[in-house]
Amino acid sequence: MSARVLIAEDEPNLVESLSFILSREGCEVSAVFDGESVLERLRTERPDVLVLDVMLPRRTGFEVLKLIKTDPGLSAIPVMVLTAKGQERDRRTAEDLGADAFVTKPFSNQDVVDRIKRLAGG
Amino acid sequence: MLSANIVLFTALAYVALLFLVAFVSDVRSRKGWLGLVHSPLVYTLSISVYCTSWTFYGAVGSAARSGLEFATIYLGPTLVFVGWWFLLRKLVRIGRIHRTSSIGDLISSRYGKSTSLAVLVTLIAVIGTTPYIALQLKAVTASFQVVAEATGTSLLGIPTRDIDIRTGFWVAAGMAVFTILFGTRNIDANEHHHGVVAAIALEALVKLVALLAVGLYVVFWIAGGVPEVFRLPAAATVLQGSETFGARWVALTFLSATAIVCLPRQFQITVVENADENHLRTAGWLFPLYLFLISLFTLPIAIVGLATLPPGSNPDMFVLTLPMLHDQSALALLVFIGGFSSATSMVIVASIALSIMVSNHIVMPIALRLPRRSAGVSGDVKTLLLVSRRISIGVILLLGFAYFVASAQSDALASMGLIAFAGVAQFLPSLIGGLYWYQASKAGAFVGLLGGVLVWGYTLLLPSFEGGSVIPASLFQEGPWGIADLRPQALFGTEGVDPLVHSLVWSLGINVALFVLVSLVRDQKPLERLQATLFIDVFRNPADNEARFIRRSAAIDDLYILAQRILGTDQAYRLFRDFARQQGSRDSLPQPDTEFIAHLERQLAGGIGAASARVMVSQVITGETISLDELMRLVDETQQVIEYSQQLEHKSQELQITARQLREANERLRALDAQKDDFLSQVSHEVRTPMASIRSFSEILLSGDDLTSEQSKRFLGIIHNETLRLTRLLDEILDLSHLERGELNWSLRPIDASAVLARAVETCQGMAAGVTVEVRNDAGSVEVLGHSDRLAQVFINLISNAIKHNTGADPRLSIHSTIIDGRFVVDVQDNGPGIDPADRERIFSKFSRAWSTDRPSTTGAGLGLAISRAILRRMNGTLDLLPATGQGACFRVTLPLRQNADQSPRAAAEG
């Protein structure tokens, strides 16, 4: 699998671990550290999967998700929402906004890999 | 045209009907069939005995002469029945429990069963009522002559011949017979006269129907409609004819309100004849309605009478002369019967009430004082009472007749109604005081009553004889012995006041003043105090309570003989047998204990009045003690209940306040709870983030065989760092929670703040590589109250923030300390990106990060500023972000100086 994965996450350590496990599976990984940068990046390139943290500086993950899913040009990109809050309310918000997968921190590496594979394959 | 014979025949037939109704009702109730007689409707109708011929004929006269003033006579009773309902209810309850037989009995009983008070009240009642009865006789006689001699002059309402005294005599005699027949059949323990009440109720209906009929006729037949009536020129004269709502208006309303309670006949009907307290509920609205209906056409009749009858017509006879003018003989006859009804009902009830008072309060005490002729025959007292009542009725009516004859040619009678009202109004202070004021005493009531009546007699009754031969006119113009201050209608210079208002203010003023003063000065006797409590707290203390306080013993035979003498054999036997059964005895004679004696005395009081009953029972009592201890306890209980209720009121106010406080506290708790949820959710988030790194890297390490040792080392290093971050986070949370809860494990002591700042700057040197740090101290050595390590923590937090978040090309940091207004002030200024204005306050809240370039893993959890602020607050200091100046951010710390010594400014660059 050689899916292109964009990671939007402000925790450098998590970016590093996610990049590591996804690269190990053969993905092409790139990362941005805030909400605004996600949208900028999407204008120039189109990843197969977007891993999106909720608590991002400069635009939260939910705002970004909403913009992507309401933009006809972008809405097809599968989005996996990542959050540390883990509350049922957040999960529902993510689903309402059209998230394709929802993972809470701390996550299982295998779980993340499986989901991304599935999203990239579909 | 009606002949005298037809009128006479109709009147006699009507009287016969009354006799029949009274007789049937009496027989039926004796058999236990109370039926209609025992209904709230009949009760209410009988109360309308208030409306006498004075109202029937006189109201129209009053309206013709003084406009709307007539309405006060109806307004007062309406106010009492609607607004003072609770007073009537209390009277009725007391009357029932204490077997009160008259208003005199009630007052005497309340003030220690005093005989002297009963005598005084009875005399006042007789003096006040006799002229009133004369007034009724005159009205009947005059109306008879007017209606029966319908000639040209009689249409003026003025009889052609002199008042026919013979007619008056036969009317009085007829009434005496009726009253004696139905008012003195027995001395009922409850003084109920069902026959009389039924007849009175019928008469009430007749007078209402008569007035309504003549009213409708006058308005719609003669005048042609309501608007036409008020378009007549006379309407303006009538409506503008009086000063409305003036002092006289108030006095009249007050008088009529008083009269409905204090007139002996009203008391007789409302209280004594009341069979069921609930009837009062109906009367509360029905009686005012009756008054409204009966007064409805007063004004129109007066207006039309003035407009259509020849000038000089007597307005008091308009009701009668208007139909006669239009040859409506039948209607005139109905009106005559209506007036006859209102006169007879008043005379009958008044003479019954008075005869009971005279026999119970005057004849009985005299009889009791006479040496006893024999051992007492069964029923002898009963006979004495009945005979004395019959004689009293005869005498009272004779007195009224005599008064009628004496004053037949004068107009003095016209004002007699109001004079009588003012006389019985003297009962009011003793009555109301007795019902609501514990300290009201017999001496006070007696003196007040006597004083009030004397003033009333002098200022109102006496002047009504003015112009006669008995009293010299000089008395009124110059005063007795020429003393102007004592002129009857201008006491002490109060000239120019309406005579009625003048008399009312003086007599009631003196009455109340004496009543209150003497009551306050003179102590009550134990019996007075007991009766006061039993009356005032009648809804709480049943009369049986009396047995608790008075211990008496007597031989049962003596008691039986006594009861027989007063009640007669049958009734006495039944009374004793019933009580014996109640005691659980098979014998027909009860135990003569305290309770029975109290019960017997109450039963006897129903027949002969409380005072006489007490005297008679006392004669056969062998031992009597009024238990002072018990009495004091009763008074104490009353006092306690009052105090309890005050305390309760106080408590309930406190409870309301507490409830409000609780509600507020609850709201605060809810807010805090929401904050706590937020906080926990934040903590969860802050903990999960490093946990995610730790878990992810651990899994990499666990699963990866292909890792280089460098990679493994680096990942372990990250794990290590994240655990440290977690620890720091938990420490900070605990720290903040301690600070916020005020749990200090450190104390404030004098420290040198400048030295602490210098130390903090030095500590931060290590991380400040590449950052220019400029320190300027204009404060010198500064003593504040604080904790040096904690203060250093604040400075380090600020300095390290300024260094870490300063991402500019040439990072600079300036730390300036000085003293402003007795406070040590430290500004920490950087030249970084600054803080968004929207985040100015938020940065001080928990878990906030406002720096856009923040890299969380390199900082704390966002609690630093919150902690710093909490620390400074403990030291009475502040931490603020100064308004943006365009470049970077500037945080300011201030702390109060401990003292103002050693302020020598010293500029120095330290560290």
Q: How far apart are CA B890 and CA B873, in angstroms?
A: 19
Would you say residue B878 lies in a domain?
Answer: yes
Please say which residue of B320, B340, B368 terminates a domain: B368
Least confident of B224-238, B461-475, B569-583, B702-716: B461-475
Q: Which residues contact B761 (CB under 8 A, 6 or more apart)?
A: B773, B775, B795, B799, B815, B910, B911
| A16 closest CA partner among B692, B399, B348, B371 | B692
Q: Are B301 and B322 in contact (CB under 8 A)?
A: yes
Q: Is the dihedral of CA B234, B235, B238, B241 positive or negative?
A: negative
| C-alpha separations of B331 from B5, B221, B440, B652, B763 in Å | 17, 13, 53, 64, 121
Nearest-by-Cβ selection for B699 from A16, A87, A108: A108
Same domain? For B506 and B616 the reply is no
Same domain? For B777 and B871 the reply is yes
Could B681 and A87 be called an inter-chain contact, meaning their C-beta atoms sit closer than 8 Å? Answer: yes
Would you say residue B213 lies in a domain?
Answer: yes
Q: How far apart are CA A8 and CA B822, in angstroms?
A: 51
A21 touching chain B per CB within 8 A: yes
Q: How far apart are CA A82 and CA B839, in angstroms?
A: 25
Residue B310 is predicted with a pLDDT of 75
Q: Are B798 and B881 in contact (CB under 8 A)?
A: no
Nearest-Å Rg of the Cα atoms of chain A is: 13
Please say which residue of B341, B368, B395 terminates a domain: B368
Bridging pattern class, strands B878-881 and B783-786: unpaired
Coil, strand or helix: which one is B827?
Answer: strand
Q: How far apart are CA A31 and CA B813, in angstroms?
A: 32
Which residue type sits at B60? Answer: V
- Indicate the pLDDT class of residue A6, thresholds 50, 70 and 90: very high
Note the pLDDT tens digit of each residue in B206-231.
989 998 998 888 888 887 777 877 77
How close, in Å, is residue B844 to chain A by CA atoms?
A: 18
Residue B856 is predicted with a pLDDT of 44
Note the pLDDT tens digit of each residue in B390-435.
888 888 888 888 888 877 666 655 577 788 888 888 998 988 888 8
A23 touching chain B per CB within 8 A: no
Would you say residue B403 lies in a domain?
Answer: no
| C-alpha separations of B716 from A13, B695, B705, B730 in Å | 12, 11, 15, 21
Could A106 and B692 be called an inter-chain contact, meaning their C-beta atoms sit closer than 8 Å? Answer: yes
Q: Of all helices (H) and strands (E), which one includes residue B554?
A: strand B550-554
Please give the distance of CA B329 from its chain centroid, rounded to a whole number: 51
Q: How far apart are CA B237 and CA B67, in angstroms?
A: 8
Nearest CA in chain B to A88: B681
Interface residues from chain B to A (CB-CB < 8 Å): 681, 684-686, 688-689, 691-697, 699-700, 703-704, 718, 721-722, 849, 852, 854-857
Q: Are B785 and B876 in contact (CB under 8 A)?
A: yes
Note the pLDDT tens digit of each residue in B741-789.
776 677 888 888 888 888 888 888 877 777 888 888 887 888 888 888 8
Could B693 and A86 be called an inter-chain contact, meaning their C-beta atoms sit closer than 8 Å? Answer: no
Residue B363 is predicted with a pLDDT of 84
Q: Are B771 and B803 in contact (CB under 8 A)?
A: yes
Which residue type sits at B678? Answer: D
Q: Which residues contact B776 (CB under 8 A, 6 or more apart)?
A: B814, B815, B816, B817, B907, B908, B909
Burial of B789 (0-12, 13-18, 19+ CB in 10 A): exposed
Same domain? For B197 and B323 the reply is yes
Q: Which residues contact B117 (CB under 8 A, 6 or more apart)?
A: B104, B107, B108, B111, B442, B445, B446, B449
B interface mutation test: which of A7, A9, A10, A14 has the most B CBs within 10 A?
A14
Bridging pattern class, strands B621-626 and B550-554: antiparallel
Q: Of all helices (H) and strands (E), which one includes residue B818?
A: strand B812-820
Q: How far apart are CA B466 and CA B329, in angstroms?
A: 39
- Indicate the pLDDT class of residue A16, thresholds 50, 70 and 90: very high
Would you say residue B387 lies in a domain?
Answer: no
Residue B634 is predicted with a pLDDT of 58
Would you say residue B767 lies in a domain?
Answer: yes
Q: How far apart are CA B674 and CA B666, in angstroms?
A: 12
Average pLDDT over residues B877-904: 77
Residue B851 is predicted with a pLDDT of 43
Q: How far apart are CA B48 and CA B485, in angstroms?
A: 41
Same domain? For B37 and B102 the reply is yes
- Indicate the pLDDT class of residue B546, thresholds 50, 70 and 90: low
Q: How far apart are CA B355 and CA B496, in angstroms?
A: 40
DSSP bridge pairs for B775:
B815
Contacts 24+ apart (CB under 8 A), B149-152: B149/B4, B150/B1, B150/B2, B150/B324, B150/B332
pLDDT above 50 for B822: yes
Same domain? For B657 and B806 the reply is no
- Indicate the pLDDT class of residue B556, thresholds 50, 70 and 90: confident
Q: Residue B886's CB: how many other CB atoms inside 10 A?
A: 5
Would you say residue B380 lies in a domain?
Answer: no
A interface mutation test: which of B685, B835, B852 has the most A CBs within 10 A?
B685
- CATH code assigned at B86: 1.20.1730.10
Higher pLDDT, B883 or A38: A38
Same domain? For B110 and B23 the reply is yes
Would you say residue B486 lies in a domain?
Answer: yes
- Indicate the pLDDT class of residue A113, thresholds 50, 70 and 90: very high
How close, in Å, is residue A116 to chain B by CA atoms?
A: 16
Same domain? For B348 and B452 the reply is no
Coil, strand or helix: which one is B245?
Answer: coil
Q: Quote the ipTM score.
A: 0.94
Note the pLDDT tens digit of each residue in B33-92.
666 667 888 888 888 888 888 788 888 888 887 777 788 888 888 888 888 878 888 888
- Indicate the pLDDT class of residue B512, thresholds 50, 70 and 90: very high
Could A106 and B703 be called an inter-chain contact, meaning their C-beta atoms sit closer than 8 Å? Answer: no
Could A13 and B697 be called an inter-chain contact, meaning their C-beta atoms sit closer than 8 Å? Answer: yes
Would you say residue B443 lies in a domain?
Answer: yes
A interface mutation test: which of B677, B682, B689 has the most A CBs within 10 A?
B689
Domains in chain A (CATH in brackets) are 4-121 (3.40.50.2300)
Residue B907 is predicted with a pLDDT of 36
Q: Which residues of A touch B704 (CB under 8 A)?
A: 24
Nearest-by-Cβ selection for B688 from A17, A58, A105: A105
Q: Which residues of B touch A10 (CB under 8 A)?
A: 854-856
Instruction: Tell me how many domains chain B contains.
Output: 5
Note the pLDDT tens digit of each residue in A57-88.
778 889 899 999 998 888 889 999 988 876 77
Same domain? For B86 and B104 the reply is yes
Could B684 and A107 be called an inter-chain contact, meaning their C-beta atoms sit closer than 8 Å? Answer: no
Same domain? For B690 and B794 the reply is no
pLDDT above 50 for B107: yes
Q: How far apart are CA B366 and CA B361, in angstroms?
A: 9
Note the pLDDT tens digit of each residue in B293-350.
988 888 888 888 888 877 777 788 888 888 888 878 888 888 888 888 888 888 888 8
Same domain? For B106 and B213 the reply is yes
A108 touching chain B per CB within 8 A: yes
The proportion of chain B whose per-residue pLDDT surpasses 70, expressed as a percent, equals 82
Same domain? For B705 and B769 the reply is no
Average pLDDT over residues B478-491: 66
Residue B481 is predicted with a pLDDT of 67
| C-alpha separations of A77 from A57, A71, A111 in Å | 22, 10, 20
Domain range for residue B507? 426-541
- Indicate the pLDDT class of residue A108, thresholds 50, 70 and 90: very high
Q: Are B297 and B216 in contact (CB under 8 A)?
A: yes
Same domain? For B454 and B338 the reply is no
Round the average pLDDT of chain B to a whole number and report it.
79
How close, in Å, is residue A118 to chain B by CA atoms?
A: 20
